[in-house]
Amino acid sequence: MIMGTGVDLVDIARFERSVTRTPRLLSRLFTESEQQLKLSSLAARYAAKEALIKALGGSDGVYWTEIEIGAEPSGKPLFVLYGSTAAVVAERGITTLHLSMTHDAGLAIAYVIAERTDAA
C-alpha cells in the first residue's frame, strides 16, 4: 500500500550559488561521504531528501544527515537511513522506499514512493 509520494526539482545553478555563498550547507545537508560528490550530484541528492520528507508527510524527527543516498550494485539509488530518521520511517509503518533521481539540462529531480507491506 502506498503511504506517500514526494517529488522535488532543483535548479542546479541556484543550488551551487547557495553552497558557494554558505559553505556550511554541505555539512548540514549531506553525510561526509556524500560531500565528496560533484555539486550536480549533490543537487539530485538534495532533491531526493526533500522528496522523501514530502512522501513522509513532514519533517518531524527527520534529520538531513541521517539520510544518505547510496546505490545498489546495479546503480539503482536507494536510501540509507540512520538514527531517529530511520525510527520515524519504521514508526510510520513504511517498509519500502522507492527512489528515482536524475540531473540534466541544469535541473535535478527526484521522485519517492513510500510503501507499507500489509501483513496478510
Question: Of 74, 69, 80, whose CA–CA distance to 43 is shortest?
Answer: 69
Q: Identify residue 12 by its one-letter amino acid code.
A: I
pLDDT in tens, 82-112: 999 999 999 999 999 999 999 999 999 999 9
pLDDT at site 24: 97
Q: 106 phi and psi, to 5 degrees?
A: 80, 5
pLDDT of residue 76: 96
Model pLDDT, residue 88: 95
What single DSSP character describes residue 30?
Answer: S
Length, in residues, of the chain: 120
* Cβ atoms of residues 115 and 95 within 8 Å: yes
The domain 2-115: what is its CATH number?
A: 3.90.470.20
Residue type, 53: I
SS3 46: helix
Provide the pLDDT for residue 62. Answer: 95
Phi, psi of 116 (to 5 degrees): -120, 135
The string of pLDDT tens digits covering residues 59-77 is 899 999 999 999 999 999 9
For the chain, what are the domain ranges?
Answer: 2-115
Q: What are phi and psi of 111, to 5 degrees?
A: -130, 135
pLDDT tens string 11-65: 999 999 999 999 999 999 999 999 999 999 999 999 999 999 999 999 899 999 9
